[in-house]
Structure 1
Amino acid sequence: MISLLKYLKPYKLQVILVAVFTLLSSVLELYLPTLMADVVDVGIVNGDMSFIMRTGGWMIACSLLAIIMTVGKAFFASKTALGFGRDIRRKLFVKVEHYSMDEFGKIGSASLITRTTNDVKQVQDVLNMMLSLMTRAPLMLVGGIVLAVSRDAKLSIIFLAALPILAGLA
């Protein structure tokens, strides 16, 4: 898989957009619990209905923006993976065109068709998953740690103790 990553060079901008959209959606999703804490700590405690409504509006806006960023991330990740798969199939086709009849006989038509369709599809799916999930997990992890430590440093020690388990699962 590592040797195939050189085929991502034409999609550098799209990969950067996936990372930026992932970062923005993660930040917005991590900001929602902070807003909810403010609603409880300030709005409900003081009985300030206007503060609750205003903060609720911010929560809705953050949620809508996070949805837009997540859809954008999925769009560019899918577009990148599809273009990557197309390029790999094209290279495979050009390579197969130069095979001799003996090589066709050894490998077999069915095997060549399977490799140019199914195997490339599997690599394409892995790339899409890497762009979608593997970029999100570290950002959420780092953002969660920063927010936990900024909210309550002593309480975040529990979170930091569970960090190796979470990192292993991610």
Structure 2
Amino acid sequence: MVAAGAWAAQQPLDRAIFRVDYDDTELLGKAFTRGRSWPLVGTFVHLGNGAALGALYSIAAPRMPVPSWSRGPLVALTEHLATWPLVFVAERIHPARDELPKLSGSLPAFAQATWRHLLFGVVLGELERRLNPPPDPEPPPPYDHVVSSNGHGRLEHVATSG
């Protein structure tokens, strides 16, 4: 949820930078209501989606054979590339399609969505890494069996040359 919150909070900034008037909370909120409550509904749906992806990520991340710093961005960018083609469908069936910007075929919109997913992935991955550090390494096996009480070893373990 934190990563999705960071995404939503920075949207006004990336909308100005990329010059694309695309807001995920608007897309999600207006799918459920066209009234004045769409920003609140959209924010809750967006945070819920982030929490769901975060829960799946927390299960999958420890099993991923890549460095821990790359797991969050890798998952988020994979999700982005897998779902981006759906904007073409959304532009045709979304209830508020006439009020939303056209995203398909727009390189700035794709770059904006890539940035948002990268930010989400970095925040998600870093939170997971800090909240769930790897287990402590196994302690070395005891070596009491080869050391005498005076710390100099046992006569049984002396090697002779013969």
Q: Normalization by structure 1: what TM-score?
A: 0.35
More helix per residue: 1 or 2?
1
Larger RCO, structure (CA 8 Å, separation 6 or more): 1
Q: Normalization by structure 2: what TM-score?
A: 0.36
